[in-house]
Amino acid sequence: MHELSIAVAVVEQVEEAVRDRGRAVASLTLRIGELAGVVPEALEFSFGLAAEGTALAGARLLIETVEARGRCEGCGREAATGMPPVLWCAGCGAPLTLLGGRELEIVRLTLAEGPAEEPRSAPPGPPVRDEEASHVPHR
């Protein structure tokens, strides 16, 4: 599963970053473009698996979905491309240059108060994401 390999890579990267702090990770925020080909639900599930037994166990995963936008090469008009993306201008029909929407990055990390040995055992909360996430294609 594509999302699992992303989750494993994210967990490894964060573990590396917090290794010397000796504290558990309370929450992690990822920014994901709607064209990144990531299904948020699948990533949340995979993150839970990948985080097991690490400093990220029990951490909340927050996903910020970034809308894909394009700028027209003809008239300069900027607009969301929508999903599935329409890559030509609604005004003049010229092709759009993609401005964003392929992001996949860690934007925020909060550490728990306690040491890593006692990860929070809070049940996974409801998935947090904005409504744009519903436009992410299921692959």
Binding site for Zn ion (CB under 5 A): 72, 74-75, 77, 89, 91-92, 94
Residue 119, C-beta contacts closer than 8 angstroms, at least 6 positions apart:
24, 55, 56, 57, 58, 59, 112
Instruction: Give the amino acid at 42.
Output: A
Q: How far is the CB of 29 from Zn ion (least distance, A)?
A: 34
> For Zn ion, which is the closer residue by CB, 52 or 78?
78
Q: How far is the CB of 137 from Zn ion (least distance, A)?
A: 25
41/60 Cα distance (integer angstroms): 13
Q: How far is the CB of 68 from Zn ion (least distance, A)?
A: 17
SS3 95: strand
> For Zn ion, which is the closer residue by CB, 76 or 137?
76
31/65 Cα distance (integer angstroms): 6
Q: How far is the CB of 73 from Zn ion (least distance, A)?
A: 8
> For Zn ion, which is the closer residue by CB, 40 or 70?
70
> For Zn ion, which is the closer residue by CB, 92 or 107?
92
Among the listed residues 2, 80, 88, 12, the one whose alpha carbon sits nearest the alpha carbon of residue 37: 2
